[in-house]
Amino acid sequence: MKNTIIMGLTFSFIMLSAVSQAAVETVEAKAQMTELKAKLKGKFRSEPTSIKESRLPNIYEVMYGTEVVYFSADGKYFLAGDMIELETRTNLSDFAKQSVRKDIMDKEDFKPVVFKAKHEKHKLTVFTDIDCGYCAKLHREMPEINAKGITVEYLMFPRAGLQSKSYEKAVSMWCADDPLQAMTDAKERREIATKSCENPVSSQYNLGQEVGVTGTPALVTESGKLIPGYMPADRLAAMLDAEAKQ
């Protein structure tokens, strides 16, 4: 009986020591992150979006929007590149970007042009450009994409910028009486009426830049994963089905 009590007390002491040590390490980590944040703001004149511990000891994951970099705790050493967990082949850097991108995409309604699936299983945001050839190729598969249960929410990303003809076409499409038909007509190089109205094209373009879009089409899944370029309907459906099971 006495030995049982002693063993119980010893185990409790070990557990309390471990908890106390973890608490100390957490306090130290928070202090290091606060100090590192101040140093980086001083060096780069902009405050990081977030700082948190990485999987490597004394190396911190620092986010600037959807860009991820790594710093030593003292701020002296900088690492750029992907951090890979070899056992699972998980790209931890991509996962960090994906999480931030999802938060940005979820924060408000950017008034997309929606091609809705009748039996919706997935939603896919597509940054598109009226004058983009591969965007037109993707759009031609819209009936098949919708039939596979994928709703597409189009956001405009005129690659030539906000003073371009592509931007003007995007505005005319968005302001049309039937934006869905105007989208299809414009992508098939058919003439659409020039129109102007209050529209979200510039804010959609800025959003694209914020989440890391550099070309079109750029596909963003519900989890925040960014897929650059065209993907056939079959592969797209398989990819979204697999992602939903994760």
Residue-wise pLDDT tens digits, 22-70: 444 477 767 777 777 777 777 777 788 888 888 888 888 888 888 888 9
Residues of the chain with pLDDT > 70, as a percent, come to 88
Query: What is the pLDDT at residue 186?
Result: 94
CB 155, CB 226: distance < 8 Å: no
Retrieve residue 139's tokens: 């759009």
Query: Distance (Å, rounded) from C-alpha 9 to C-alpha 82?
Result: 45
Common-topology check for domains 2-105 and 110-245? no
Q: Under a CB-based contact definition with an 8 Å cutoff, are residues 218 and 208 in contact?
A: yes
The pLDDT value recorded for residue 109 is: 82
pLDDT level of residue 15 (50, 70, 90 thresholds): very low
What is the number of other CB atoms lying within 10 angstroms of the CB of residue 154? 25
pLDDT tens digit sequence for 138-170: 999 999 999 999 999 999 999 999 999 999 999
Residue matched to tokens 């830049």: 209
How much is the pLDDT for 56?
A: 86
CA distance 195 to 197: 7
* Homologous superfamily in CATH for domain 110-245: Glutaredoxin (3.40.30.10)
pLDDT for the residue numbered 12: 43
Q: Give the 3-state secondary structure of residue 178.
A: coil
Tell which CATH architecture fits domain 2-105. Roll (3.10)
**pLDDT at residue 14, as a whole number:** 40
Q: Which residue has the higher pLDDT, 124 or 71?
A: 124
Domain extents in the chain: 2-105, 110-245
Give the pLDDT score at 121: 95
How far apart (Å, rounded) are the C-alpha atoms in residues 202 and 195?
Answer: 15
182, 187, 191, 196: CA torsion to nearest 10:
50
Cite the active site residues: 129, 132, 135, 159
Per residue in 181-218, pLDDT (tens digit) is 999 999 999 999 999 999 999 999 999 999 999 999 99
H or E element in which residue 69 lies: strand 67-72
Query: How much is the mean pLDDT over the chain?
Result: 85
Q: Residue 47's pLDDT is what?
A: 80
